[in-house]
Structure 1
Amino acid sequence: MASIPHRYPFLLIDRMEDIHLRNLTSKDKHGKISAVGVKNVTINEPFFAGHFPSHPVMPGVLIVEAMAQTAATLVVLSQGPDAEGKIVYFMTIENAKFRKPVGPGDQLRIHVEEIQQRGRIWRFKGEALVAGQKTAEATFSAMIKD
């Protein structure tokens, strides 16, 4: 919550794990950054009331948003103290694929990895898994702004 401005009901990650950042003091600043965001999906999620009451399924667009929030948190963390007060905006979503439904009781593990970074523009590959099985994937880009 310290890294991105999202709050309930639109904060879609509960925690970050396996965060790999570039060494900001090293001369090699070309290593890829990556992380895993975790979302514990519960029946209390507001979207389940209408999607779908008799068969609750987490909307695919929200899974992609959870990928973006994981990546945004990673971008802010990678910038160190320089990122204070900055926001990461979604720019593109490409090749989104949804493989299995996600529902109440599932733990969504969102793996994001930097593909490229140029200036303020970042490109990521994301995968969402439940119990080790891929439920969704996408490639997306974002921009960090003041």
Structure 2
Amino acid sequence: MFIRTRSGISIKEFITEYLNAESDYISKRISTLFLNGTPVDDLDYEILTDGSVLALSAAMPGLAGAILRKGGHLAGLRTRVEKKHSAEKAASGAWVKLKLFNALVPELGPGLLSRGIWVKASSISSFPAESNILPPYTDPDNPDEMVHVIVKAV
């Protein structure tokens, strides 16, 4: 799913503003984060830009979970990745691809779906007509355009 946000927003601001999660929830429930495939420890420092991919997970089991956990004692076992951080805060909009895993799906997913998410039109062509998804406008000449999808409560 894609979320339209402003470029230059921190991960913490994004989770607070767009996922409606409070600081306590973020610190206790979201234990593993990846930004563009790289583990994140500092949610205030890392920023989102157009095209960012943000993956969020609750606690993961085992050694891998302990190594990847934000601020974990075993974070030093991670492969070092040189991060490029842009300090500039742009006022332009950004598309962020959001991926939710395990316990976060039922906790954050319904709120996101009821407010609406953006998806590529080509990815929703397989949904049955009787589903709870409100029909989006799609342009048959441009199947990869982004469409706003809202899921009705049942």
User: One fold, TM greater than 0.5?
Assistant: no
The TM-score normalised by the length of structure 1 is: 0.22
**Which protein has the bigger strand share?**
1
**Which protein has the bigger helix share?**
2
The TM-score normalised by the length of structure 2 is: 0.22
